[in-house]
Chains A and B, each alone.
Chain A
Amino acid sequence: MENEKNRKTSPLLALISPTQFILGVLLAFIAGAVFLWVFGESPADAYGALFKGAFSSKRYFAETLLSTTPLIFGGLAVALGFRCGLFNMGVEGQIVLGGMAAAYVGYAWELPLLIHLPLALLAGAVAGGIWGAIPGYLKAKHRIHEVITTIMLNYIVFQVAAYMIAVGGPMKADNELPVSPDVLPTAQLARIWEGTRLSGGIFIALIFAVLVWVFLFKTRLGYKMRAVGLNSSAAEFAGIKPGRMMVWAMFLSGALGGLAGAVEVLGVHYKFYSTFSPGYGWDAIAVALLGLNHPVGVVASAFLFGVLRSGSITMQAIAQISKDIVLILSALIIFFTATNQTLRPILERLTLRLDTRRAK
């Protein structure tokens, strides 16, 4: 963005990001295969069962899209933070809190559909946003690294969630289970594919991907945030207040995390319980990194992780391989994309060389 005028350009440079994406996935899958082979598993059987579990029937494919939905929100949350130079590791907590707030508005208030559903979603977003803004404020005001505070706030919210639905807890339903009452039909997201659990949440997620893109690249506030992320002191010199941007970025990031939880509760479970997220907030980090913190990349990598999430359940049942292999693949993807900064200049040089040779 800064030096574009001085830099040699080539139309081929646009292909670098997709190349990095595919390379990251490919390398992670190869490394994952080696890993499985070392531990005496057949990579072909494992991956076969994985893809079978993600695509082989209507219901399985719907589950894949179902997992993709919160991962888009979560990935956008992490990506938005990164764009402002902040590492939001608190998405898992923001998901839980967002789901909790949305469920409360969903079952406790009686309102017409047109108001009830948006209000429940908004409650999730605001709850997640406030929870995200706290580490943003602590970073801006006290220079405390947001990684530690977001992790600590996760542990706090997990306890709050457990308290809410424990015996005698304020959100406990009138039954034997540690769950909240059911969300009223006026606050439920409609199912859109008969015979499956897929809700309209997937479209809301895609709309938010567009909104985040517009926000980051077409608005003043988005521009200022990215300026802080690229070079905080230069941005300050240009009259931007980095502290204020950090709080805003963490608020919006947390709000996206909260929405992930709200959509999950209002669209899939119709009630709140403390373990409704199988760790989407952790996958979200890999989703954002693999997607190079760009909304388009986030949607693509969210779908990949949706495949992994839904496929791994079948894989555990058929091939007796722990579904936590997703976490191992996720770690591998993070390792390979983390070296992007080293890789990118090399790829750019190669591309330019290729281009000059073609021009001759």
Chain B
Amino acid sequence: MEVWSNVFSLALFTATIRSATPILFPALAGIFSERSGVLNIALEGIMLISAFAAVVGSYYTNNAWLGVLCAVIAGVLTSLIHAFMCINLRADQAIVGTGINILGAGLPSFLLLKLFGSQGISPIVERIHEWRIPILADIPVIGPILGEQSPLVYISLVMVPVSYFVLFKTPFGLRLRSVGENPHASETVGVSVFRFRYLGVIISGVLAALGGAFLSVSYLAQFVKLMTAGRGFIGLAAMIFGRWNPWGALFACLLFGFADALQAAAQASNVPIAPQFLRMLPYVLTIIALVGAMGRANPPAFVAKPYEKA
């Protein structure tokens, strides 16, 4: 029993927030893309490519924030491939997304050997350090959990109300959602379906890139082959569980983040369960959550359906 009390400490909740971040970014990314009507299962690949770009940027400039900038550029460029194939060429969105995911598995490995002469891992680079938020950090309980985290964690949390506001309280958001729900009607009233779908996918690329950069230049300080470990997909599951709403997604991400933090803490405390079974926990929970979520969750009506101008 003593080992379990080591697992359930305040540090577990600090780790929950930290583990939720690389799921929250792709979850919000998925919301923007799918609300505009473009299925985005490419998030995993975009995160991997961005995570690698962040390390390259940080390696050559010795500035982790410039690494984040490189990640965002890489994320936008990769999203543009997705957008062009899905929107202009009307290709099957699930298939294109899979292509990008496979590219995300191959491209970093190719460049690792090319740039650093190594297989699987990059050199250690400059990383983004945690910030201590003055007053917040001194509050008991909340302070240790929320007061000293990576700035990218704070950005991901701030993005939740921002995304909600943009999507549901601005004309921009209304138009973005309308091209996902009823593109023909939108076009009739003068909203360009192509433009808003492009914007949805590009915003999605920026957010996924931040998630990738968080993993490689903040959480760790190097790129590790396939380091996202399915977080892009778990993010999509969080999006569905949260009914394509940023607040719902945040709740789901905290749940998945908790599972991830719990299995890591349990491993560290030598609980009498095989580590392999602990590592399964986030993936099992994702499936269970989806079973619970479906039936009451409805995707945007025109998601994954290419739009053809009449």
Contacts and interface: CB of A to CB of B under 8 A. Distances in A.
A50 B284 CA distance: 40
Interface stretch (B181-189, B216-224, B274-282): B274-282
Contacts of A162: 276
Nearest to B93: A338
Contacts of B94: 87, 147
A163 interface: yes
A335 B96 contact: yes
B203 to A, nearest CB: 21
A339 B94 CA distance: 12
16 contacts: A87-B94, A142-B295, A144-B294, A152-B234, A152-B287, A279-B105, A285-B102, A289-B95, A321-B110, A322-B114, A324-B106, A324-B110, A326-B106, A327-B109, A335-B85, A341-B92
A36 to B, nearest CB: 9
B107 interface: yes
A338 B233 contact: no
Interface in B81-128: 81, 85, 89-92, 94-96, 98-100, 102-103, 105-107, 109-114, 119
Interface of B: 41, 81, 85, 89-92, 94-96, 98-100, 102-103, 105-107, 109-114, 119, 229-230, 233-234, 236-237, 240, 274, 276-277, 279-280, 283-284, 286-287, 290-291, 294-295
A159 interface: yes
Contacts of B233: 147-148, 151-152
Contacts of A87: 94-95, 98
A6 interface: no
A143 B95 contact: no
Given A142-B295, A143-B294, A328 B95 contact: no
A334 B102 contact: yes
A338 B85 contact: yes
Given A89-B98, A331-B100, A341 B91 contact: yes
A35 B283 CA distance: 35
Contact of B276 (A160, A320, A337): A160
A285 B112 CA distance: 25
Contacts of A332: 99
Nearest to B99: A334
Interface in A136-181: 138, 142-145, 147-149, 151-153, 155-156, 159-160, 162-163, 166
Contacts of B236: 148
B295 A143 contact: yes
Contacts of B95: 87, 289, 334, 337-338
Contacts of A3: none
Given A285-B98, A320-B113, A339-B85, 16 more contacts: A149-B290, A152-B287, A156-B280, A156-B283, A159-B276, A160-B280, A163-B277, A279-B105, A324-B109, A325-B106, A327-B105, A331-B106, A334-B95, A334-B96, A334-B102, A335-B91
Contacts of B114: 39, 41, 321-322
A331 B94 CA distance: 13
Given A147-B41, A320-B113, A163 B98 contact: no
Given A155-B229, A285-B98, A342-B91, A166 B276 contact: yes
Given A87-B94, A342-B89, A159 B99 contact: no
Contacts of A322: 109-110, 112-114, 119
A328 B230 contact: no
Given A148-B236, A325-B106, A339-B91, A138 B287 contact: yes
Nearest to A87: B94
A323 to B, nearest CB: 8
A152 B283 contact: yes
Interface in A315-360: 320-322, 324-328, 330-332, 334-335, 337-339, 341-342
Contacts of B98: 87, 89, 285, 334
B291 A144 contact: yes
A332 B106 CA distance: 11
A286 interface: yes
A282 interface: yes
Task: Please classify how large the interface on chain A is, using the bins under 10, 10 to 19, 20 to 34, 35 or more.
Answer: 35 or more
Nearest to B292: A142
Contacts of A330: 102, 106
Contacts of A152: 230, 233-234, 237, 283-284, 286-287
Contacts of A325: 106, 110
A159 B110 contact: no
B23 to A, nearest CB: 13
A138 B103 CA distance: 28
Given A142-B291, A331-B106, A155 B280 contact: yes
Contacts of B283: 152-153, 155-156
A225 to B, nearest CB: 19
B267 to A, nearest CB: 12
A339 B93 CA distance: 10
Contacts of B286: 148, 152
A339 B103 contact: no
A331 B103 contact: yes
B279 A282 contact: no
A103 B40 CA distance: 38
Contacts of A39: 110-111, 114
A331 to B, nearest CB: 4
A258 B113 CA distance: 33
A163 B274 contact: yes
Interface in A289-337: 289, 320-322, 324-328, 330-332, 334-335, 337
A147 B45 CA distance: 14
B295 to A, nearest CB: 7
Nearest to A152: B283
